[in-house]
Chain A
Amino acid sequence: MRSPSTRRTAGGEPISSEVTDRPITLSQVARRLEDSGSGAVVLFVGRVRPEVQAGRRLTGLDYEADRRMALARLSDLERQARRRFGTRRIHVVHRIGRLRVGTASVIIGVAAAHRSMAFEAARFLIEELKREVPIWKTDRWARGPTGRRRRTRRRPRGARSPG
């Protein structure tokens, strides 16, 4: 379930997004941003946030993706960010599958000449990812008072932001 590590757009730009069912780490993303011309590196990590509702505790989230389209949309967003903010390196990884509370679900890394470009591009990427990339999460709750494990409704879009 891993994407090839180096792909290029028609224009020859490297595209590096990944959608994977394996654990994702900061070092894996940071490695892809090494670039002597960048004065700033911003790393954003989105994690599964603990939550309690009506006395029940969230144990985790199930993530799923339309993988092929998600990669295409992520590549698109990388291109847009590069154009808008003039960044030098971008690497986005999103994890799918069953994730426990506290686990990293998404990591976005941006390297740019100056910090403002890097911060703005990272912000742009996470906001657009949530709106435009075909990835979904479903809540998983601990056993409720009825003793039954319930899979409940999906939160409306944007109701849960990482971090």
Chain B
Amino acid sequence: MPLAERKRRQEAWMTRTVQLTLFATAREAVGASRLERAVPSTGVRLDTLLESIAEEHPRLRPILRNARVARNGEYVVGKRLRVRPGDEIAIHPPYSGG
């Protein structure tokens, strides 16, 4: 893991936050490529976290339905998983590379 990233995660853990990175249409819907959310040290369910963000950014809701979600570089299967301070969540709308 690159140093800058490790540092960011360490800081995130200290401040008890989860970092979200938004790509493509998700970024456009929110108007930012990064979001930070404070979470309890016991963690929070991923679907709860995403729901609270969708409430603040309603344009994100339809995008989330089709998006893949990754935690710390691994795709998440089932959104009941708990995210904890220091975790990095990425929102991936359908891919369009090539």
Q: Using CB atoms and an 8 Å cutoff, list the residues of chain A in contact with chain B.
A: 46, 63-66, 68-70, 72, 94, 105-106, 126, 129-138, 154-158, 160-162
Interface size class of B (residues with CB under 8 A): 10 to 19
Which 7 residue pairs across A and B have the least CB separation, nearest first? A135-B97, A136-B24, A130-B98, A157-B94, A162-B98, A137-B96, A136-B96
Q: Using CB atoms and an 8 Å cutoff, list the residues of chain B in contact with chain A.
A: 21, 23-25, 70, 73, 90, 92-98
Closest to A153 in B: B25
State A134–B24 Cα separation when bound (angstroms): 10
Name 11 A/B residue pairs within 8 A (Cβ), A-sorted.
Answer: A46-B98, A64-B23, A69-B90, A105-B97, A130-B95, A130-B97, A134-B23, A135-B95, A136-B24, A156-B94, A158-B96
Q: Which residues of chain A are within 8 angstroms of B94 by Cβ–Cβ distance?
A: 156-157
State A64–B24 Cα separation when bound (angstroms): 7
**A154 close to B24 (CB less than 8 A):** yes
